[in-house]
Chains A and B, each alone.
Chain A
Amino acid sequence: MTGGDRWEALPPELRLSEKIIRPSMTYLQDAWRRFRKNPTAMFGLVLVASIVLLALIGPAVSTHSYREQDLNRTNEPPGAEYIFGTDSLGRDLFVRVMTGGRISLLISFMATFISCAIGVVYGGLAGYSGGRTDNVMMRIVDIIWTIPLMLYAILLMMWLGTGLHNILIAIALVYWVNMARIVRGQVMNLKEQEFVLAALVQGASRWRILTRHLIPNSMGPILVTATMMIPGAVFTESFLSFIGLGISAPLASWGSLCSDSLGALRSYPYQLFFPAIFICAAMLGFNFVGDGLRDALDPRLRR
């Protein structure tokens, strides 16, 4: 740089005054970028993805079916023919664990989805209405909150009878209250903000404000809560099946497989080990993903 031009006025294109310093990213892109940098969260995601994948393709690639019995080959230890061994009726444990995974995961996802839907609508309406409506709605939530939830899932199951869709309904009907509370809190906070006022000034309807402004802006906490609800549902499902109120034979879920293995635990511990390890892995995976999501979506950390 020569003496002359160092004192030259900086040309406007180098002044960069109006340059946008950080490339603009949408909220989700930004969150995903942070999520990707979090090793435990990514580990959780990979874990969950592998479990889901295994459950989906496992039964298809196996030569056995989950209900096919071979009474000559009962309680076989894990080996070449049966990688996870066989159960007391000579059924292939690998296929049963995978099929069980399908059912456990299906129930968890569906139950979570339904209870999220109930919770979001309920909490959104309560928070947005405010006043007396909110008061009454939240008092109801408080009461349900006080009820021992697991007991109610059990009573509901007895009332509805066992079976796949009943277990789904029981879990969904019991666990929406947490989501309702969170959404209500979010909506209460957000509705005081200017962008809602701006939308109101432009003549948006209440429903539109709720569905287009308030709920999308609460998506972060909703997503995190939903992810945390999935392991809870896995837990509840396996628990109900374990005490004999869930899935009944020949269908299987991880919980019912654990329950089936108890009689012969001393002699054939692997029959508990395989379904149990899948439950734990799924719980771990979803917990990690949930934690990672919470960190990634927390706007206070945004940078």
Chain B
Amino acid sequence: MARFVISRVFSIALTLAVIVTLTFFMMHSIPGGPFAQDKEVPPEVLRVLEAKYRLDEPLYVQYANYVKGLLVWDLGPSFQKIGVSVNDIIKQSMPASAKLGAVTFVFVLLIGIPAGIFSAVKRDSFPDQAIRFMATLGQTIPSFVLATLLIYIFSSRLRIFPTFGLRTWKHFVLPAIALGGYSLSFVTRLVRSSMLEAMGQDYIRTARAKGVPEFQVFFKHALRNSLIPVVTYIGPLIATVITGSFVVEKVFAIPGMGKFFVDSITNRDYTVLMGLTILDAILLCAAILIVDLIYGLIDPRIRVDK
């Protein structure tokens, strides 16, 4: 098990290094540079700006500096907001995203997993067909359509839920549905199909031939085996969901990381963009690492093989 953990940590670290490098050089090779705005910037101003942000140094020195900063979690200053660092922006925007993300995650799991199991247990019944229909529909609606539709119906017309901000529990309902709709559908379908897959295995027949009650066949023998693909999906889901959605945060005017990300695209604020991307990647990698470790707990075969 220890070897397994070490090898996973090592490969995740390697991945992160690749991501940081790739992001850095991509950002720095964008034609025009960060201060090439629509209006002409006088060359002397440009030179001062570049000196201030140390963009006049050779690229590899800048890279080394960036990595050095990264190691002590200093993501540098914002290019557009004077006197504000990327760390400040993350500190300021992370809580909103994380709160909404946590709510969404719980919502997706609490509904998706039971719905999937129920659908598999009652296979081909009317409720199963209804759940499958809803889940298919949920996967076809992009989050921006869902978000705007929800606002239009529930805020503008029916006035049940507020449109923007995250002050009361009511504020969470619509963004959580918009953010989690796709994942909810996906989790439901995944749980259903992996339950059915597990139910078709020979060891289920063995358990039944032993006289194990149906309930136990489902929740002991099938569920544990069917969790493996589900964990694969929901692990990274935590990371994606807590780092905020560009669209949902924009539409619901939630001051989270997704909104800053979109803003930094429009403003060409490269350090913010880079910082947020790297934070995203770190969280995602951490989630994948946790998933790998959970695998080891669920499936004894993995513990030994690797």
Contact = CB atoms under 8 A, between A and B. Distances in A.
Contacts of B151: 265
B265 A287 contact: no
A265 B152 contact: yes
A292 to B, nearest CB: 12
Interface in A144-159: 146-148, 151, 154-156, 158-159
B265 A265 contact: no
A147 B19 contact: yes
Nearest to B18: A143
Interface string A21-32: 000000000000
B94 interface: no
User: Which of A146, A244, A281 has the most chain B CB within a 10 Å cutoff?
Assistant: A146
B277 interface: yes
Given A151-B277, A279-B145, A284-B140, A243 B29 contact: no
Interface stretch (A5-13, A65-73, A234-242): A234-242
Interface string B149-189: 10110001000000000000000000000000000000000
A148 B11 contact: no
B136 interface: yes
Nearest to A285: B140
Contact of A158 (B140, B141, B265, B280): B265
Interface in A167-186: none
A243 B15 contact: no
Given A146-B15, A158-B30, A276 B145 contact: yes
Contacts of B265: 154, 158, 243-245
B300 to A, nearest CB: 23
Contacts of A276: 141-142, 145, 148-149
A243 B27 CA distance: 19
Chain B contact residues: helix, strand, loop or mixed: helix
B68 to A, nearest CB: 22
Interface stretch (B43-51, B119-127, B214-222, B281-289): B281-289
B87 interface: no
A188 interface: no
A287 B140 contact: yes
B277 A159 contact: no
B142 A279 contact: yes
Nearest to A277: B145
Nearest to B17: A143
A279 B143 CA distance: 12
Interface of B: 11-12, 14-15, 18-19, 22-23, 26-27, 29-31, 136-137, 139-142, 144-145, 148-149, 151-152, 156, 240, 246-247, 250-251, 262, 265-266, 268, 273, 277, 280-281, 284-285, 288
Interface of A: 139, 142-143, 146-148, 151, 154-156, 158-159, 161, 231, 235, 238-239, 242-245, 255, 258-259, 262, 265-266, 269, 272, 276, 279-281, 283-284, 287-288
5 contacts: A155-B26, A155-B27, A238-B144, A239-B144, A272-B152
